[in-house]
Amino acid sequence: MLNKIKLIIAREYLTRVKKKSFIIMTFLGPIFMAALMMVPYWLATKDRDLQRIEVIDETGLFLDAFENTSELQFKDGHEPIIKAKAKLYESDYTAILHIEEISKGSEVKIYYKKQPGFTTISKIERKIEGVIRSAEIQRRFNVNKDQMSKIQPNISVKPISIDVDGQEESKSVAIMSGVGYFAAILIYFFVFMYGIQIMRGVIEEKTSRIVEIIISSVKPFELMMGKIVGIALVGLTQFLLWSILTSVVYSIIMSVFGGDVESVSQTTELLKEAGAKGMENPLKLLKDGVQSLPLVQIFLSFLFYFIGGYLLYGALLAAIGAAVDSEADTQQFMLPVTIPLLFSIMVAQIIVDDPDGALAFWLSLCPLTSPIVMMVRVPFGGVEVWELILSMILLILGFLGTTWVAAKIYRTGILMYGKKITYKELWKWLFYKG
């Protein structure tokens, strides 16, 4: 039995890794991934068009209130708004900010010849609201500007876990959430991408009638197991190659374009500013946050649920492929299979907010949802060892069970052509003997 499964695994693996499409995507994928990582960096360091805004303040509250940045420059104007608007296209200004008498719910108008972005509008709104709030506090409570400037509370909540022995450890909720989301999304896409390949492979074999020869030599369970594991190894090979090559390509791009002196100086200034305000170095926070994670547990759990989730759903998708004659007929069966995965992604935010709650616990045990939910929970470090082991055992049993179900459907469905299959028909196939 094992020898036959090994032969099927080798066949599935070698036929796919030798394809031109596999080789091309293996080398192009890292380039695309590195480009996706570099685009935000490039946009962040790219010089943006400077916006010059003339501020015509009829209230007298906003004199020199707006701070200039590398992208925004404000200058107080002293002429009537009618004249300013008439001269707009002759001046260097890109917009005119007109502040009339301010009252609750009033509107401030900005006239432009170059559309200000959402961020620009938001900055102006926050500044105006802040100035009005300060002025109102000063008026009501007789507080001057110097006293107001000293009221700058800089408070942050720092989560610290305490174990049963009283040992304390600092945690970063943002980093734990980010790692959990990333691992979950990666598993989600991997399951779909390579699970669909299994389904298509089964449909191709069925339509080409090759399977009629293969099925005479091996049992359906052996064929199904070999096919699922073989394609899983293809996916794992491509994933590892993508990880290595993406790192290499990204390092090369960073060495060529990452030495931008201006961007480095801007980063340095930001860090100095953060220090001046009493904030910790964000790079140090990131480093400390990553080091506080259970990295070994995250890595080992990711490998297990990465492969286990694929194997489980790969078996279900293979069963769908065996039951239909064409890919167009798969839609009616795909929804029930994909609902648990989609549900897992949808409840990820709830899991992040309460990683040790009842919903997180039960979903991390259910084989259909555990690959996503458990990977969201693990970075938080609150998963007991027995929970993790039980979840893994149930996932293995779930894979074996779905493979058995897929083999039963495969055995009957692979030789049936031209018949519209229903759920009632599939149920009968599970109990056919022979």
CA distance 155 to 258: 34
The residue extents of the domains of the chain are 51-150, 173-244+279-429
pLDDT, tens digit (0-9, with 9 covering 90-100), for 88-97: 888 888 888 8
Q: Beta 95-99 vs 109-112: how paired, if at all? A: antiparallel
Whole-model pTM above 0.75? no
Q: pLDDT tens digits for 27-76?
A: 887 777 767 666 665 665 555 677 888 888 888 888 888 888 877 888 88
Burial class (CB in 10 A: 0-12, 13-18, 19+), 116: middle
Question: At 94, is the secondary structure helix, strand, or coil?
Answer: coil
Q: Which CATH superfamily is domain 51-150 in?
A: Periplasmic binding protein-like II (3.40.190.10)
Six token digits for residue 174: 């943002």
Residue-wise pLDDT for 291-319, tens only, equals 667 778 888 998 899 888 888 888 888 88
What average pLDDT does the chain have?
77
User: 3-state DSSP call for residue 109?
Assistant: strand
Which residues, 6+ apart, have CB-to-CB distance to 116 below 8 Å?
A: 51, 53, 94, 95, 110
User: Is residue 183 scored above 50 in pLDDT?
Assistant: yes
Q: Name the residue with higher pLDDT: 407 or 153.
A: 407
How far apart, in whole angstroms, are the C-alpha atoms of residue 405 and residue 248?
A: 42
